[in-house]
Amino acid sequence: MKLKFAFAVNSNNKFVKNHFGDSDKFLIYEADSGKLGIHSEEKNVFKDMDETNKHGSKKKGLAIVNLLKNKGVNVLVSMQFGKNIKIVNEHFIPVIIYSDQPKQVVDELNHHLYWISDELQSTTSDFKLFTIKSGILKTVVKK
């Protein structure tokens, strides 16, 4: 199975400390021959969906899940996830990063692709949360 990543970025292609679903767009990267390369860009048309009723709406979370699943994505990368991480990790491997620069994040992810690939191959749902800072940490998402 191919690894496909969705980076949650702002309109200037930088990561910001927002929840994944509050990003302006998603940069889609694909792992090919052990390295990530840009595949496409997808506007987050659900950014403001249902936000007047409740921040972190399940309806919005499911809409984003469906959008990215249809694009073949299996890993989500962001500086932060909200309570919808409980929905996210049923379908995707969530990864928290600390750099706002996609190029630096690509370099870090390339270094840890084995761990992410192993998680995808050994699990079908309830994926672990990966945190990449100076190393990589894998933890359980609390339900």
Share of the chain above pLDDT 70, in %: 95
Residue 59: band (very low, low, confident or very high) from pLDDT cuts 50, 70, 90: confident
Residue 34: per-residue pLDDT: 87
**For the whole model, what pTM was predicted?**
0.93
Measured CA to CA, the distance from residue 91 to residue 72 in angstroms comes to 11
The arithmetic mean of pLDDT across residues 51-61, rounded, is 71
Residue 60: band (very low, low, confident or very high) from pLDDT cuts 50, 70, 90: confident
List Cβ neighbours of 130 (8 Å cut-off, separation of 6 or more): 93, 94, 95, 96, 112, 115, 116, 119, 136, 137, 138
Tens of pLDDT, residues 13-48: 999 999 999 999 999 999 988 899 999 999 999 988
Q: What domains, with CATH codes, occur in the chain?
A: 4-139 (3.30.420.130)
Residue 134: per-residue pLDDT: 80
